[in-house]
């Protein structure tokens, strides 16, 4: 029975300390892929030992932890481990081996049970090296009316999922997703109406003489849009749409640093919100004809050259290709760069293609304001799509991507549609846009396999439709690399950008905010929402860390912004947050509510474990947990709020909270 006891001890430790799946978390990974139908479960696992790992040519072991009972899966079926040799599930070599673990098995009655997979040369190697990981957690039965008696791992995948799909998990949403399941929650989110940033009245380009400081703030800056953005992030029901739109706004950038009128910026941002689950081809067209984008990247009033010394403005044409669709280098479907015989990256386009697109997009001007007469070059106005003046459009032949040539003499609309089709159907778009969406929602360093799977869905949603963003988002969030209570790859995850750092913190801890303070706080942290300093966003997607891995958000992390994060948490926890700004209609300020958490203060371990779920999706390391319990015990038991504040502050300023895995 010693073997059985060892399994129980080892696997219970794994469930309780789910910061790591194993002692060799830096050397291997185990990824599960399930039908997610507990009544007819089909489950596989892919094992990826490091090449130098001695266990890579060993055997595969499969176990299930249900409460305090361990079961092992052998070639003869499930058994309760006893003394004596334990048969392996299958033999090696196991590099990249996909192991069929369960097929058509009803596990719905085993709520909270975890399936774990590992490998080793023998049993001692498996236990000693710790090369195992959790690949599946049996979910709760639907329509539960009583709390689910699960271990911390029961909530871990759900909380992790909500970190990726919302602006931060909160107890209510965790309970709801647990009740109905991730897939049903996604379908609910797809069906919800869009919460936009609102519509704002027209104001002339130059402020009227009677426009005071409040008028300037509300109409000649992004202030009101920022408030609505944070209000939506905090409380809007369509969390997934808001999250995806935020990601798109950082890929398809229009900045309030240039378009600084509320009425001008709102339509563009609302377009991204409304199309977050639509088709990327629609976004390409609406983005191209947006007067905000036209002004930002100089396509508006870009007339055809009238003599040999003139050129069409190339700014939008260049960024359309480089940043908004295909990128600089030809990509494989898995996002890796194609190289030539000399090993050099193959360019996606050249200067002739940029000039071709610039000429293709000539002739567009601002929309005509109501009551005005259309001009060849309309004055600045941002309500409605840009309008075309055919006589100002270049009608020569143009060279586009991959040798496609637009014939001479076409109308401006025909040229536009052909050019956008040329971009949309380029094979780079799936991996180029897909990888960036993965980076924003899940991880900075997705594996080639992850990118390839998402790219395939972009190319075909299963019904022959290309560019279906709803299908792409679903593929990203349901991918095996995104799911599970933990991911043991040390390169997985990403630094929370300031917006997600603040909203996750507040949403998880019962906070409220009208957005006034958050817009200031995130700006101090390096992310002035809707006011990106350049078209390359606040941080570039290809920012590389010293260890060679991608870490986009680290581009805006420095001593000053790191301190700003800690100061924000301290002020919220100990300083009472921010009072309402009386000049803002409906202001409520920004505050926390630690009342519910403080009821756990009498049991420091329970308090710390709850924070692990809310802030770390159950991945708090054993060392961190022990240190926190000790620290909380150092505060008098009679001071419940003091204990709670200390625990919240320490967890929220930790690297384990700031780096989402």
Kindly tell me if the per-residue pLDDT of 598 is higher than 60: yes
**What region does 309 belong to: left with phi over 0, alpha with psi -120 to 50, or beta?**
alpha
Q: How confident is the model over 548-558, as a mean pLDDT?
A: 95
User: Which single residue is written with the structure tokens 């090296």?
Assistant: 129
CA distances from residue 385 to 188, 252, 394 in whole angstroms, order as listed = 31, 17, 20
pLDDT tens digit sequence for 346-360: 999 999 999 999 999
Q: Please check whether residue 261 is in contact with residue 203, taking contact to mean a CB–CB distance below 8 angstroms.
A: yes
Q: How confident is the model over 344-373, as a mean pLDDT?
A: 97
**Helix and strand totals (H; E) in the chain:** 25, 17
Q: How confident is the model over 499-509, as a mean pLDDT?
A: 97
- Long-range residue pairs from 67-74, CB within 8 A, at least 24 positions apart, any chain: 67/112, 68/8, 68/12, 69/8, 70/4, 70/7, 70/8, 70/11, 72/7, 73/101
Which of 7-16, 78-87, 563-572 comes out lowest in average pLDDT?
7-16
As to burial, measured by CB atoms within 10 angstroms (0-12 exposed, 13-18 middle, 19+ buried), residue 500 is buried
* Domain residue extents for the chain: 2-138, 157-281, 296-424, 434-478, 494-660
Q: By C-alpha distance, which of 415, 365, 386, 398 is closest to 287?
A: 386
Kindly tell me if the per-residue pLDDT of 101 is higher than 80: no
pLDDT attached to residue 307: 85
pLDDT attached to residue 10: 41
Average pLDDT of the chain to the nearest whole number: 86
Q: How many C-beta atoms surround the C-beta of residue 566 within 10 A?
A: 13
Kindly tell me if the per-residue pLDDT of 58 is higher than 80: no
Q: How confident is the model over 633-660, as a mean pLDDT?
A: 96
Residue 153 pLDDT grade (very low, low, confident, very high; cuts 50, 70, 90): very low
pLDDT attached to residue 60: 66
Three-state secondary structure call for residue 65: strand
Residue 77 pLDDT grade (very low, low, confident, very high; cuts 50, 70, 90): low
CA distance 601 to 138: 30
Name beta bridge partners: 590: 513, 578
Q: Please check whether residue 142 is in contact with residue 180, taking contact to mean a CB–CB distance below 8 angstroms.
A: yes
pLDDT attached to residue 8: 40
Specify which of 13-22, 127-136, 145-154, 221-230 reaches the highest per-range mean pLDDT.
221-230
Kindly tell me if the per-residue pLDDT of 151 is higher than 50: no
pLDDT attached to residue 461: 94
- Specify the higher pLDDT residue, 179 or 270: 270
Residue 120 pLDDT grade (very low, low, confident, very high; cuts 50, 70, 90): low
Kindly tell me if the per-residue pLDDT of 232 is higher than 90: yes
CA distances from residue 637 to 606, 643, 645 in whole angstroms, order as listed = 14, 8, 13
pLDDT tens digit sequence for 18-47: 323 333 333 455 666 666 677 777 777 766
List strand residue ranges (DSSP E) for 58-174, in order: 59-66, 69-74, 77-79, 90-91, 97-105, 114-120, 132-137
Kindly tell me if the per-residue pLDDT of 321 is higher than 80: yes
Q: Which helix (H) or strand (E) holds 398?
A: strand 398-399
- Specify the higher pLDDT residue, 138 or 125: 138
As to burial, measured by CB atoms within 10 angstroms (0-12 exposed, 13-18 middle, 19+ buried), residue 456 is middle
CA distance 349 to 406: 16
> Taking the C-alpha atoms of 528, 532, 537 and 538 in order, what is their torsion angle to the nearest 10 degrees?
-40
pLDDT attached to residue 141: 52
CA distance 116 to 114: 6
pLDDT tens digit sequence for 406-461: 999 999 999 999 999 999 999 999 999 999 999 999 999 999 989 999 999 999 99
């Amino acid at each position: 029975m010693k073997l059985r006891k060892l399994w129980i001890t080892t696997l219970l430790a794994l469930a309780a300390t789910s910061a790591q799946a194993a002692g060799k978390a830096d050397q291997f990974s185990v990824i599960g892929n399930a039908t997610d139908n507990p009544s007819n479960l089909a489950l596989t696992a892919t094992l990826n030992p490091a090449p130098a790992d001695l266990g890579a040519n060993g055997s595969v072991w499969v176990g299930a932890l249900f409460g305090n009972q361990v079961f092992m899966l052998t070639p003869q079926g499930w058994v309760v481990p006893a003394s004596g040799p334990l048969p392996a599930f299958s033999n090696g070599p196991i590099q990249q081996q996909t192991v069929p673990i369960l097929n058509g098995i009803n596990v719905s009655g085993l709520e909270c049970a975890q399936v774990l997979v590992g490998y080793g040369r023998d049993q001692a190697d498996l236990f000693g090296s710790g090369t195992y990981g959790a690949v599946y957690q049996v979910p709760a039965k639907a329509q539960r009316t009583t709390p689910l008696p699960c271990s911390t791992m029961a909530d871990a995948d759900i909380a992790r999922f909500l970190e990726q799909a919302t602006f931060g998990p909160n107890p209510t949403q965790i309970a709801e997703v647990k009740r109905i399941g991730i897939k049903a929650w996604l379908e609910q989110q797809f069906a919800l109406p869009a919460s936009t940033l609102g519509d704002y009245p027209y104001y002339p380009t130059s402020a009227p003489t009677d426009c005071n400081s409040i008028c300037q703030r509300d109409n000649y800056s992004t202030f009101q849009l920022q408030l609505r953005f944070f209000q939506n992030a905090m409380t809007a029901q369509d969390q997934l749409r808001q999250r995806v739109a935020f990601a798109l706004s950082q890929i398809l950038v229009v900045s309030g640093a240039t378009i600084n009128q509320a009425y001008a910026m709102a339509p563009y941002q609302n377009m991204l919100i409304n199309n977050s689950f639509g088709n990327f081809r629609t976004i390409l067209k609406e983005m191209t004809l947006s007067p905000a984008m036209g002004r930002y990247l100089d396509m508006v009033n870009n007339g055809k050259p009238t003599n040999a010394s003139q050129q069409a403005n190339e700014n939008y044409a260049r960024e359309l290709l480089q940043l908004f669709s295909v990128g600089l280098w030809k990509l494989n479907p898995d996002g890796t760069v194609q190289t030539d015989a000399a090993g050099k990256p193959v360019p996606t386009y050249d200067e002739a293609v940029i000039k071709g697109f610039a000429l293709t997009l000539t002739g567009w001007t601002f929309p005509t304001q109501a009551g005005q007469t259309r001009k060849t070059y309309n004055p600045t106005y941002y309500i409605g799509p840009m309008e075309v003046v055919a006589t100002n459009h270049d009608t020569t032949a143009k060279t586009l991507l991959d040798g496609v040539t637009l014939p001479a003499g076409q109308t401006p609309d025909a040229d536009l549609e052909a050019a956008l089709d040329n971009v949309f159907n380029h094979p780079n778009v799936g991996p180029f846009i897909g990888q960036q969406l993965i980076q924003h929602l899940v991880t900075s360093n997705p594996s080639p396999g992850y990118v390839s799977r998402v790219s395939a869905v972009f190319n075909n949603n299963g019904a022959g439709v290309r560019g279906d963003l709803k299908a792409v988002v679903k593929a990203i969030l349901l991918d095996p690399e995104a799911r599970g209570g933990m991911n043991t790859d040390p390169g997985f995850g990403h630094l929370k950008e300031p917006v997600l750092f603040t909203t996750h913190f507040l949403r998880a801890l019962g906070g409220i905010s009208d957005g006034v303070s958050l817009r200031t706080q995130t700006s101090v942290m390096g992310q002035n929402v809707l006011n990106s300093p350049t078209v390359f966003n606040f941080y570039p997607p290809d920012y590389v860390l010293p260890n060679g891995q991608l870490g986009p958000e680290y581009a805006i992390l420095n001593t000053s912004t790191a301190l700003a994060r800690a100061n924000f948490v301290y002020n919220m926890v100990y300083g009472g947050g921010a009072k309402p700004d009386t000049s803002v209609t409906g202001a409520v300020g920004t505050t926390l509510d630690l009342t519910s958490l403080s009821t756990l203060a009498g049991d420091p371990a329970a308090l710390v474990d709850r924070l692990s779920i809310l802030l770390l999706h159950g991945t708090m390391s054993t060392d961190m947990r022990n240190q926190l319990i000790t620290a909380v015990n150092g505060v008098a038991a009679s001071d419940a709020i003091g204990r709670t504040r200390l625990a919240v502050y320490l967890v929220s300023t930790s690297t384990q909270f700031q780096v989402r895995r």
